[in-house]
């Protein structure tokens, strides 16, 4: 069903925004991995609400607990169960709107799909669900780090009309985490912060773009046709709440280029490896990784909850007016950075384990 992803490194998330807890069950995690729980908690802290004045002020510690699959600090190879308990849920803020369809939310479509819905913060459609996939993605990062030396780094590249345009090769974790916007360009970060605060003061929201780079990805990950690496990456990214656009490499920018410019010429790499002089392909050709850094961009729409009165209808189809209240992000992209990193890690980890299983020597 729609709450599971992956073939070998298979992750199922569960829980609702204002329920008791959220979590993930990971099957297929290799045994014997010394799991760094502090590293998982670090990614959860980067995603959690209340971390700065630019995000929702819901106060959730998002403290990780491991329920199974770990013994004496190492993974057992059995299902790894991760859970985060909700501590600051406030469903009362949604009572006045339980029979109203909030514009651009999943209220109407969930009713159409299931015939009922959890109106307490949106239930499974809430971005709160991503706490589970960020935890699972942090485990995938460690599998990739130990197995391949892969490093994954995301950052905010755009908020509204403010574009940083950072060179992926120069982005560092320290520069990204140096400001609450998570943009490694300090000057652009200041502009983005000013814009987010102005939008919030208007009771409105603004969108943006998160870019993500994976260094150390070997050539050969991915499969033809339906399981192309970038196709699975696109699915992982577009399954994130508020995600509306995906690019691999140059993406839509390739439309204005000629083939002679967009092509990535092959050149000899170190130790007899093959590399390309440029990386317009974003590390993927024919749906399979080519050994260059994998680069993707994800566009996020403005958060749907705005604090302005809007037209809507109720569950009976009658015209109504709505002015939401509660605790919401004026811009999702600062907290979306670890979410995008998690999506990248989950896809790369699954494809690497699939590659390893298929290509292991016989006999």
Q: Report which of 299, 292, 168, 281 is spatially closest to residue 230, judged by C-alpha positions.
A: 281
Global pTM value: 0.95
Record the tokens describing residue 229, joined without a space. Answer: 């690496």
pLDDT tens by residue, 18-70: 888 999 999 999 999 999 999 999 999 999 876 777 776 667 789 999 999 99
pLDDT tens by residue, 83-118: 999 887 777 778 888 899 999 999 999 999 999 888
DSSP 255-276: GGS-HHHHS--EEE-GGG-EEE
Q: Which domains does the chain have, with CATH numbers?
A: 4-359 (3.60.150.10)
Q: Are 286 and 224 in contact (CB under 8 A)?
A: yes
**Phi–psi pair at 362, nearest 5 degrees:** -85, 145
Handedness of CA 175, 177, 183, 187 (dihedral sign): negative
pLDDT tens by residue, 136-188: 999 999 999 999 999 999 999 999 999 998 899 899 999 999 999 999 999 99
d(CA 138, CA 95): 35
Q: Interhelix angle for 37-47 vs 333-359, to 10°?
A: 140
């Amino acid at each position: 069903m729609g709450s599971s992803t992956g073939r070998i490194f298979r992750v199922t998330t569960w829980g609702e925004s204002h329920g008791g807890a959220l979590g993930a069950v990971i099957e297929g995690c290799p045994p014997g991995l010394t799991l760094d729980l502090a590293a998982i908690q670090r990614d959860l802290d980067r995603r959690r609400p209340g971390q700065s004045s630019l995000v929702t002020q819901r106060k959730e510690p998002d403290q990780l607990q491991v329920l199974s699959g770990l013994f004496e600090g190492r993974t057992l190879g059995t299902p790894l169960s991760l859970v985060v308990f909700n501590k600051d849920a406030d469903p009362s803020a949604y009572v006045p709107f339980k029979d109203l369809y909030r514009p651009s939310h999943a209220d109407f479509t969930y009713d159409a799909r299931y015939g009922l819905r959890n109106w307490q913060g949106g239930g499974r459609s809430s971005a709160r669900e991503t706490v589970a996939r960020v935890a699972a993605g942090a485990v995938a990062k460690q599998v990739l780090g130990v197995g391949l030396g892969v490093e994954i780094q995301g950052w905010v590249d755009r908020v509204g009309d403010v574009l940083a345009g950072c060179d992926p090769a120069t982005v560092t974790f320290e520069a990204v985490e140096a400001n609450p916007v998570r943009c490694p360009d300090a000057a652009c970060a200041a502009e983005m912060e000013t814009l987010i605060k102005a939008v919030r003061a208007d009771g409105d929201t603004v969108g943006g773009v998160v870019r993500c780079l994976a260094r150390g990805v070997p050539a050969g990950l991915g499969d033809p046709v339906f399981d192309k690496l970038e196709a699975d990456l696109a699915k992982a990214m577009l399954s994130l709440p508020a995600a509306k656009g995906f690019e691999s490499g140059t993406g839509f920018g390739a439309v204005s280029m000629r083939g002679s410019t967009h092509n990535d010429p092959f050149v000899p790499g170190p130790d007899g490896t093959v590399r390309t002089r440029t990386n317009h392909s974003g590390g993927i050709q024919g749906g399979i990784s080519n050994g260059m850094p994998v680069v993707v961009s994800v566009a996020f729409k403005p958060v749907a909850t705005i604090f302005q009165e809007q037209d809507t209808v109720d569950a009976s189809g009658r015209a109504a007016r709505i002015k939401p209240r509660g605790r919401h992000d004026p811009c999702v992209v600062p907290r979306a950075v670890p979410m995008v990193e998690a999506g990248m890690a989950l896809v790369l980890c699954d494809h690497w384990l699939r590659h390893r299983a298929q290509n292991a020597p016989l006999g």
